[in-house]
Structure formats: C-alpha cells, structure tokens
C-alpha cells in the first residue's frame, strides 16, 4: 500500500543514517541512504523521493538546509524533514521558510516521527489520487487520439461515428495544426475498414510528376530511373482508406486524374496501359478555402463537389480554449515520458498564459511548445519561466496575417527588418528571437541590404 513511496535519509553520521533507514524500512518504506548533501543531490537526480530526512549539520559545504533548497529546486513538491540536535528558534524558522515541511529535534519520540510520516504520506496519497483523477478525465474526453470537450468537436465525433462505415468521400477543412489527419484516422479506425490499410499522402510535399507516380505507381521503364514496377498509394490502400492531405495544392492534371479515380474507380500506373480497379475510400484535407479556389478557377469545381460529399470543419484552437488545459496535461504526460523528464504538473500562471495565447499553429504548435518547455525545464513543474520564448513572439503572432503572394526571400527580409526595428537594432536579441546565430543574421542583413538602425557595439 505505501510501498511506492520512497524515502531518502541524509546524515553524515553513518549510524544515525543506517538506523533511521532500518526503522523506516520496517515500516514498509523502501529507504535509501546518503552520507552527505552532495550524495543526496546525486541520488535525488536519479530518483524522485517522496520524503527526505535531512540532518541539519553536515560537513562538506552543504548542510541540511542548503541541500534541501537544492532538492526543492529539482522537485517543487518534495517533502523534507529537517533533523536537528537543538531546537533553536532560528533553525526552525529557517527550515520552514525554505520549505521544509517539518523539523524534528533528536532524539525524538518514536510516536511523534511515526505520526509525522503518516501525515505527510497521507497528503502525498491524496495528491496522487488527484493526478489519477485528472488522467481519467482526459480519457473521458478522448475520441481516438483527439482530446476535446468542446461542443463543436463533440458534433464532429458524432459525425465521425455516423459516417465511419460509409464509402462517401470526406473533405476535412481546418487551419494547419488542427489535427486533420487525426480526424481522418478516427474515421478509418471507427469503421468497417479499420483492419485494412490507412495510407497518408501529403500532396504539397512532392512535385507534380513525383506525386503522380507516388499515387498511381509506375511500370518498369515508364521514365528514366524506373527500373522496376512500383505500386502506388492507391493500390496499397486497396480495401482501406487513402488520406490526401493538402489537396488544394495539386496541379490541374492531377485534379483530372483524381476525378477519374473517383468517378470510374479505376486508374493506370504511370507508363501503363492496364486498367487497375481498387476499392479505396478517399478522405481529403486542406487548410485553404477551396470554394474560393473554385471561384478563381484554380480548383476544378467538379472535383470539389466529388470530394465535398461529407464536410468536416475543425475549429481552430483559439475557438475552443476550454480544450487547452486538457491538451496541456495530455502532452505533459505523454512527452515527459518520451523525453524521460520527471515533470508531472504545471503552475496555474503558466496554464493561464497558455490559455490566453492565440495559437496560430493550433494543437501542433501547443504540442511543440510543451515539448520545448519540457526540454529546458529544470524542476518537476512547468512554470511561466519555461514559456518565455512564447511571450516574446506573442505580440507579433496576434497581428500577423500570412502573406500568400510573396517569395520566401521577401518574407524573410520583412521579418528580419521588423524584428530589428522592434528590438532597437540589437543584433544579439534579434538573432535569439529569430532562432538563428548572429553570424547568420549578419549574412542575411548583408544579402538583403537591410539598413542597420545603429552600430552594433558589442
């Protein structure tokens, strides 16, 4: 029952250390020993102890209170009991001010120490129950890999259940990072095709000809380099689902080919003359306004209507802020495990900051943000300080509208200029904000001929 709470006894007096450890082991707590403050910190780095018994007087430059402070830096909720030989008021005040939960004066009555440990462990058990409860909540708000308690998202979950086993094509629309592929997967894995393949293709990632052979495969000798026959994604997805992400980016020719696949359920490999028939459900996704593209003639109207049989609009994260706490907890749990970081909580202020942030990159940006914060976090609780990189970008992102008719170089130039201006020409800070090193910044300033506001005097 209490076996999972581990205790570390820290005392330079070997006999005192060993005997207290033995006494605690008899009570059922796995107990380790450290004979100096330095050893205690080394051990604490390897294991998150629930409770520390710390002798006040220890040689070697780290006494009990200093050691406790260092351990509390590592684990904000570590409980420390300071053991002192004389009850001076000063010691007590310092120990409590620095966050020791309790102090005892040795020799101490066995009853007193037993009650003290019981009380601290009882609190720990309660905290653990709260964490378990929160995990259960996350599970409750989970549909496949999508976590939400937003009413619009609930409607989407219901729609997914309703259409999962149909063959109709689906068009998923939503800003980048909203989880369009997760929705596509949820459709596939909730329906009859769950045991058949789910094949995902990003249409924007490949040039036209490459994408064509990627989708439909090719025959031997279809082009230079085609040394053998290769199956395309449509063939691989036979019986299952193909997910075409960023469908708004495909060329007019591919739009034609795709239309034929949907209408006639057949296609040819590149360089082939044999008709191939497949049974594939198509789910397409885009972050573009496809209807607008239809009106300007960039996207074939017929294809649009063929794809848009069932339409799912995923709301951006800023329109479902109630999901942010759920997602944050989920990512902390999942990523801390992957990154092997001992982080299990977040302060209220940090959570507030994340809830208020605008999330132009949606859930994916939130995930990346948590990952970055976890990597640099030095305690076991994420705090505001772990998200400073976010606030420096905040004002920029709120007014930022993505230009869609400029070359990347132009955009780069504008961004560098604007950042330099905001930071009064400070090269070091500008480089930090842009995430490049200073020499790269110098190169780019020279390349784009950006006027410098003031001479760099560093």
Contacts with Zn ion, residue ranges (CB under 5 A): 26
Could you give the CA distance from residue 42 to residue 8 in angstroms, rounded to a whole number? 12
74, 104, 166, 226: residue in contact with another protein (rule CB under 8 A): 104
Question: Which C-beta is closer to another protein: that of 18 or that of 257?
Answer: 18
CB 351 within 8 A of CB 381: no
Which parts of 106-145 interact with another protein (CB under 8 A)? 106-111, 113-114
59 binds another protein, rule: CB under 8 A = no
13, 192, 208, 456: residue in contact with another protein (rule CB under 8 A): 13
Question: Which C-beta is closer to Zn ion: that of 28 or that of 239?
Answer: 28
Of 446, 418, 416, 421, nearest to 431 by C-alpha is 416
Site pattern 15..54 for another protein (x: CB under 8 A): xx-xxx-xx-xxxx------------------------x-
Question: Which C-beta is closer to Zn ion: that of 25 or that of 337?
Answer: 25
CB 280 within 8 A of CB 238: yes
CB 393 within 8 A of CB 433: yes
Q: Quick check: helix, strand or coil at residue 348?
A: helix
The phi, psi pair for 109, rounded to 5°, reads -65, 135
First to last CA, the chain: 61
User: Minimum Å distance from CB 37 to another protein?
Assistant: 18
Residues in the chain: 458
Site pattern 157..196 for another protein (x: CB under 8 A): ----------------------------------------
Q: Quick check: helix, strand or coil at residue 457?
A: coil
Instruction: Give 180-199 as a DSSP string.
Output: HHHHHHHHHHHSGGGGS-EE
Residues touching another protein, count (CB under 8 A): 23
For another protein, which stretch binds (CB under 8 A), given 88-96, 100-108, 171-179, 268-276? 100-108
Q: Could you tell which of Zn ion, another protein, none binds residue 457, using a CB distance below 5 to 8 A set by kind? A: none
Question: Which C-beta is closer to Zn ion: that of 61 or that of 110?
Answer: 110
CB 344 within 8 A of CB 332: yes
Q: Could you tell which of another protein, Zn ion, none binds residue 83, using a CB distance below 5 to 8 A set by kind? A: another protein
Q: Quick check: helix, strand or coil at residue 301?
A: helix
Q: Are strands 146-147 and 142-143 parallel, antiparallel or unpaired?
A: antiparallel
Positions touching another protein (CB under 8 A) are: 13, 15-16, 18-20, 22-23, 25-28, 53, 83, 104, 106-111, 113-114
């Amino acid at each position: 029952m209490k076996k999972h709470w581990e205790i570390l006894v820290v005392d330079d007096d070997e006999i005192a250390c060993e005997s207290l450890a033995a006494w605690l082991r008899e009570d059922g707590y796995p107990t380790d020993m450290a004979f100096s403050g330095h050893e205690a910190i080394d051990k604490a780095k390897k294991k998150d102890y629930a409770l520390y018994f710390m002798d006040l007087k220890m040689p070697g430059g780290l006494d009990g209170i200093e050691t406790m402070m260092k351990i509390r830096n590592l684990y904000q909720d570590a409980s420390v009991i300071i053991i002192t030989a004389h009850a001076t008021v000063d010691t007590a005040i310092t120990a409590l001010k620095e966050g020791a939960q309790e102090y005892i004066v040795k020799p101490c009555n066995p009853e007193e120490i037993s009650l003290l440990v019981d009380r601290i462990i009882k609190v720990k058990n309660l905290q653990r129950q709260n964490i378990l409860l929160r995990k259960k909540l996350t599970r409750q708000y989970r549909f496949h890999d999508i976590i939400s308690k937003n009413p619009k998202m609930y409607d989407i979950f219901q729609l997914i259940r309703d259409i999962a086993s149909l063959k109709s094509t689906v068009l998923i629309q939503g800003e980048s990072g909203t989880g369009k592929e997760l929705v596509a997967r949820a459709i596939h894995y909730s329906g009859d095709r769950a045991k058949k393949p789910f094949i995902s293709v990003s249409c924007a990632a490949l040039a036209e000809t490459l994408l064509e052979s990627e989708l439909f495969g090719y025959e031997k000798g279809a082009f230079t380099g085609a040394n053998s026959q290769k199956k395309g994604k449509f063939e691989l997805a036979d019986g299952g689902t193909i997910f075409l992400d960023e469908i708004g980016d495909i060329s007019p020719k591919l739009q034609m080919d795709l239309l034929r696949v949907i209408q006639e359920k057949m296609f040819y490999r590149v360089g082939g003359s044999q008709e191939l028939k497949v049974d594939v459900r198509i789910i397409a996704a885009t972050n573009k306004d496809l209807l607008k593209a239809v009106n300007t003639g960039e996207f074939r109207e017929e294809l649009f209507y063929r794809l848009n049989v069932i339409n799912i609009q995923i709301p951006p994260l800023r329109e479902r802020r109630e999901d942010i706490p759920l997602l944050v907890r989920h990512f902390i749990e999942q990523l801390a495990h992957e990154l092997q970081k001992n982080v299990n909580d977040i302060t209220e202020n940090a959570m507030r900051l994340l809830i208020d942030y605008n999330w132009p990159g949606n859930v994916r940006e939130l995930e990346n943000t948590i990952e970055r914060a976890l990597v640099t976090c030095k305690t076991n609780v994420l705090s505001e300080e772990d998200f400073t990189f976010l606030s420096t970008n905040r004002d920029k992102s709120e007014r930022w509208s993505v230009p869609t008719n400029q070359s990347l170089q132009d955009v780069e130039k504008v961004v560098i200029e604007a950042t330099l201006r905001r930071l009064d020409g400070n090269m070091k800070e500008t480089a930090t904000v842009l995430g490049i090193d200073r020499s790269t910044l110098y190169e780019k300033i020279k390349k784009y001929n950006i006027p410098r506001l003031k001479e760099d005097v560093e």
